[in-house]
Amino acid sequence: MRMHKSAGVSVDAMLEDLRTLVEVESPSRDLKALNASARAVAAVVESRLGGQATLVESAAGPHVHWSGGGEPRVLVLGHHDTVFPLGTLERRPFRVADGRATGPGVFDMLGGLVQAVHGLAALDDLSGVEVLVTADEEVGSASSRALIEERARACGAVLVFEGAADGGGLKTGRKGCGSFQVHIKGRASHAGLEPAAGVNALVEAAHQVLAVAALSRPEAGTTVTPTVASAGTSDNVVPAEATVHVDVRVESAGEKERVEAGFAALVPHVEGAEIEVRGSVGRPPMPESASAELFAMARRLLPGIEGKAVGGGSDGNFTAALGVPTLDGLGAVGGGAHADHEYVVVDAMAERAHLVTGLVNAIRDARGV
């Protein structure tokens, strides 16, 4: 399918599209906002690439899917949900100044989406190319995972447009990541009159914090970090309930299994206390071997570009776990993901868009297209 053609990319046009997307706020789980955001993404894709984008409805909001026709060869993957609540735009509007574009979601990951679309638009032929922009990456991708995996298997290569690593590097590996909650049930009593009549859920929580923290193996790249805890109702009442939230990051499938088994084996330490554990390592690790082929192509196109293994997860974890070649961090050069100082380096946008163009051609050439 031959569509929109261009000899290059326009940074001004990219910034205009970036403004359009940023100004349609898209917090995860806000279905009304995500519907508007999906329509805005589809409109940008259609205006630059031609054809028609499909909105794939889900419980988490619409995912946007576009195909250039022909035999699927490469999946361009991103998301349009952001972590910022409605109203952030009023406080922090889209702005371009001093070589930086700022605004909610510019780096994670609307800038990458725009660069991907404009890089694709510079191709003479878009056959074999698919674009999938999901609505729930920031909250775990529960509604989009099956679709991501289906299209990744069909295409055989995945380019992920999350923001670049520090210094503009590509993300060649990612830790698997997940979260767990340890819920503790005790029994309330008067802390002054009858402390022994109660079962102190907070004391049990303290035991559990130490037990889960002991599952960490930093030397193996595994971190198990208690992050949020809550307990009790009043300063003179033995706490009847407590909850501990835990962040987990692992580099290998073996460590994923070990940590999950460790959580399953937790037992109470305080007599009469009961515990319930929920959670899992929902995103499997993305080994650097999954990116080796595509990273080599990128190095030929942009000599000197670095590859880095990072701790955060993305939807590329799912595709890499399938054995599908996956390269991440192809999005915007910048920083401040999830923070008020989030920014995109404007001068890097054209180079990254051209990298998209070159990678898609290299992948199709390698696969005989």
In this prediction, residue 312 has a pLDDT band, given cuts at 50, 70 and 90, of confident
The pLDDT mean for the chain works out to: 96
- Distance from the Cα of residue 355 to its chain's centroid: 21
Helix (H, G, I), strand (E, B) or coil at 197: helix
The pLDDT value recorded for residue 369 is 56
The span from the CA of 15 to the CA of 242, in Å, is 48
Among 150, 170, 143, residue whose Cα is nearest residue 159: 170
Give counts: helices (H), strands (E), the chain. Answer: 10, 16
The span from the CA of 279 to the CA of 258, in Å, is 14
For residue 297, cis peptide bond before it (omega within 30 degrees of 0): no
Strand partners, 334: 344
CB burial of 325-346 (b: ≥16 within 10 Å; e: otherwise) equals bbbbbbbbbbbbbeeeebbbbb
Q: What is the mean pLDDT of residues 288-311?
A: 96
Which amino acid belongs to residue 104? P
pLDDT of 5 over the 70 cut: no
Stated length of the chain: 369
DSSP one-letter code for 85? P
Q: Tens digits of per-residue pLDDT, 160-213? A: 999 999 999 999 999 999 999 999 999 999 999 999 999 999 999 999 999 999
> Over pLDDT 70: what percentage of the chain?
98
- Strand locations in the chain, DSSP E? 54-56, 63-67, 74-79, 95-97, 100-102, 129-134, 158-160, 170-174, 176-185, 223-231, 241-250, 274-283, 307-310, 326-327, 334-335, 343-345
Q: What is the mean pLDDT of residues 29-40?
A: 98
- Distance from the Cα of residue 37 to its chain's centroid: 17
The pLDDT value recorded for residue 132 is 98
Q: Tens digits of per-residue pLDDT, 206-261? A: 999 999 999 999 999 999 999 999 999 999 999 999 999 999 999 999 999 999 99
The burial of 55, by beta-carbon neighbours within 10 Å (0-12 exposed, 13-18 middle, 19 or more buried), is given as middle
Helix (H, G, I), strand (E, B) or coil at 307: strand
Structure tokens at 164: 């670049």
The span from the CA of 345 to the CA of 13, in Å, is 15
- Tokens 């806000």 locate to 30
What angle, rounded to 10 degrees, do the helices at 349-366 and 292-301 form? 120
The burial of 233, by beta-carbon neighbours within 10 Å (0-12 exposed, 13-18 middle, 19 or more buried), is given as exposed
pLDDT of 117 over the 50 cut: yes
CB atoms within 10 A of CB 90: 8
The pLDDT value recorded for residue 4 is 32
Q: Tens digits of per-residue pLDDT, 71-110? A: 999 999 999 999 999 999 999 999 999 999 999 999 999 9
